[in-house]
Amino acid sequence: MPSIKRSSSAIEADTAQNSSRKSAKLRKNARIKELESQVAALNDFALETKIDKELPSPIVELLQNYPGAATKLDAAIRSWIIDTYDKCENKSSNSCTLSNAMTKYLPDIERLSRLPDGLNLAYHLVLFLGWHTLDWEQIRDECRSTRPSD
């Protein structure tokens, strides 16, 4: 059976076409990485400025579905809780006022629970919120007053 030889121009055309495909794929991957980076930056900005609830729903959906969104929201809510706790503690507030101040984070925690990989984070965040809602000095004083005398 005779061998069939391809012309060198056909080989060069195939090589050029493969190179063109590879460079197009590289450009596409670079663009995807760039867009993912921009989404991450937008999400960070939205959480830092607390405007994430005011954004149009398509943008919110995009921000909630990118990898790592649940972790970033968890970190942001924790930061907000700590800030609120510190502000309330500086005002020598009682447990009731502290609890009232913390209830505003429950909808955010619920939103976190609906994100991919967010349910476990939301559970631990509820515990974290509860811990920062208690007035530990009041609890200590109550325990001392109800303790049986020695």
Domain span holding position 143:
69-150
Asked if residue 62 and residue 73 are part of one domain, the reply reads no
User: Residue 137 has what pLDDT?
Assistant: 63
Establish if 4 belongs to a structural domain.
no
Establish if 99 belongs to a structural domain.
yes
Asked if residue 19 and residue 58 are part of one domain, the reply reads yes
User: Residue 4 has what pLDDT?
Assistant: 64
Q: CA 125, CA 23: separation in Å to the nearest integer?
A: 45
Asked if residue 142 and residue 74 are part of one domain, the reply reads yes
Which H, E and C letters describe 124-139, residue by residue? HHHHHHHHCCCCHHHH
Establish if 3 belongs to a structural domain.
no
Q: Which amino acid is at 110?
A: E
Asked if residue 146 and residue 75 are part of one domain, the reply reads yes
Asked if residue 82 and residue 52 are part of one domain, the reply reads no
Establish if 1 belongs to a structural domain.
no
Asked if residue 73 and residue 61 are part of one domain, the reply reads no
Establish if 2 belongs to a structural domain.
no
Establish if 6 belongs to a structural domain.
no
Place of tokens 């809780």: 81
Model confidence, pTM: 0.64
**Token code pair at residue 119:** 């349910």
Establish if 45 belongs to a structural domain.
yes
Asked if residue 74 and residue 34 are part of one domain, the reply reads no
Number of domains in the chain: 2
Would you give per-residue pLDDT tens digits along the chain (150 residues)? 566 665 666 666 667 677 778 888 888 889 888 888 888 888 888 888 878 778 888 888 888 887 888 999 999 999 999 988 888 777 665 555 777 888 889 999 999 999 988 999 999 999 999 888 776 666 666 666 665 554
User: Residue 125 has what pLDDT?
Assistant: 94
Asked if residue 85 and residue 132 are part of one domain, the reply reads yes
Asked if residue 150 and residue 76 are part of one domain, the reply reads yes
User: Residue 46 has what pLDDT?
Assistant: 84
Rounded to 5 degrees, what angle do the CA atoms 59, 60, 64 make?
A: 120
Asked if residue 119 and residue 46 are part of one domain, the reply reads no
